[in-house]
């Protein structure tokens, strides 16, 4: 029967057969079903529930639309997974740094200009916009992301550093560390999605709200939050016949010319009603709370 809901129901029903002298009461049966249902998940599973439930020993799951700090003592199972989760693009988790320069007294790192790093920076930039809540500077870098550097650069030791600025055009990011010159050959940077700077005992889940969950592919990188967007397209200019005068015989002289006109707003097509617009593009849907199952919870 495994861990399916049907299997759970069968287990409880079997305990309640007339030949079983230890039959459960209706309340006990419901409690066991609920317990087996929640415990029958894998750590890290995300699942919907219509009700707002708090993290507890009997419901070891948290809402993903809220920021939450987790630690190795109270949340040991999920902590291990989140602490070691690296940002991965096309099976690459360590990204090449080709130079380091001074930016306002701090280290600015430049990454190699290749397809994977372009996706890396586009994804990080989208996550930063999501984190800040707007698409234009200034951005909020507080409590956002860090980078882990594998080797020493000048006076900068290998380790984890807070990101304080990112430029997706030039593939550079600035970290909170005083600049000093040094070689940058064979330097790699990696991004642990949920770490809190240098802490080794805590991680932070950063909220995902009013969003759908996508499978990876293209610029959809697991663990990175993406803004909504529309498919790239263009509106062709319209050509219109107009007269610019007449010839001596009185016959009008006509030309076809490109008119500089704006594309009008969408209107009712007479069949499907008025277009509905808003700040995001979405399907018909039902809102529900999304939870992540954390396994063991120690109050």
Specify the 3-state DSSP secondary structure of 78: helix
pLDDT of residue 217: 81
State phi, psi for 176 to the nearest 5 degrees.
-85, 75
pLDDT of residue 23: 66
CB burial class (10 A; 0-12, 13-18, 19+) of residue 185? Answer: exposed
Look up the pTM and report it: 0.78
pLDDT tens, residue by residue, 191-229: 999 998 889 999 999 999 998 888 888 778 999 998 888
pLDDT tens, residue by residue, 288-297: 999 999 999 9
Q: How many CA atoms are closer than 13 Å to the CA of 191, on its beta-carbon side?
A: 24
pLDDT mean over 161-165: 95
pLDDT of residue 53: 97
DSSP-derived pairing of the beta strands 202-205 and 95-103: unpaired
C-alpha angle with apex 37: 33 to 42, nearest 5 degrees?
155
**186 alpha carbon, distance to own chain's centre:** 29
Does residue 197 contact residue 144 with C-beta atoms inside 8 Å? no
pLDDT of residue 19: 55
* Closest to 163 measured CA to CA, from 186, 134, 185, 195: 195
Least confident of 3-12, 102-111, 120-129, 268-277: 3-12
Q: Around Cβ 211, how many Cβ atoms within 10 Å?
A: 16
pLDDT mean over 160-170: 96
Q: Residue 210: left (phi > 0), alpha (psi -120 to 50), or beta?
A: left
pLDDT of residue 26: 74
DSSP-assigned beta bridge partners for residue 91: none
Residues 6+ apart with CB under 8 A from 14: 20
14 DSSP assignment: H
- Distance between CA atoms of 105 and 180, rounded to whole angstroms? 9
Q: Around Cβ 139, how many Cβ atoms within 10 Å?
A: 17
């Amino acid at each position: 029967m495994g861990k399916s809901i049907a299997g759970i129901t069968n287990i409880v029903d079997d305990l309640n057969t007339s030949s079983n002298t230890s039959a459960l009461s209706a309340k006990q049966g419901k409690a066991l079903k609920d317990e087996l249902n929640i415990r029958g998940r894998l750590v890290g599973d995300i699942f919907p529930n219509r009700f707002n439930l708090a993290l507890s020993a009997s419901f070891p799951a948290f809402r993903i639309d809220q920021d939450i700090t987790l630690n190795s003592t109270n949340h040991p199972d999920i902590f291990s997974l989140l602490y070691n989760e690296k940002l991965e693009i096309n099976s690459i988790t360590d990204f090449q740094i080709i130079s380091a320069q001074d930016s306002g007294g701090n280290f600015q790192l430049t990454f190699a200009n290749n397809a994977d790093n372009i996706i890396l920076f586009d994804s990080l930039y989208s996550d930063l916009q999501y984190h800040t809540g707007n698409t234009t500077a200034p951005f909020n870098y507080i409590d956002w992301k860090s980078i882990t550097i594998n080797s020493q650069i000048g006076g900068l030791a290998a380790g984890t550093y807070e990101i304080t600025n990112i430029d997706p055009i030039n593939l550079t990011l600035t970290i909170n560390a005083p600049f000093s010159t040094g070689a940058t050959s064979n330097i790699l940077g990696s991004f642990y999605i949920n770490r809190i700077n240098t802490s080794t005992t805590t991680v932070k889940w950063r909220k995902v709200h009013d969003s759908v969950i996508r499978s990876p592919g293209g610029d959809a990188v697991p663990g990175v939050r993406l803004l909504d967007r529309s498919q790239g397209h263009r509106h062709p200019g319209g050509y219109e016949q107009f007269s610019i005068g007449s010839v001596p015989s009185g016959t009008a002289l006509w030309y076809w010319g490109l008119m500089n006109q704006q594309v009008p707003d969408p209107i009712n097509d007479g069949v499907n009603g008025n277009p509905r617009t808003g700040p995001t593009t979405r399907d018909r849907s039902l809102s529900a709370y999304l939870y992540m199952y954390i396994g063991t919870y120690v109050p």
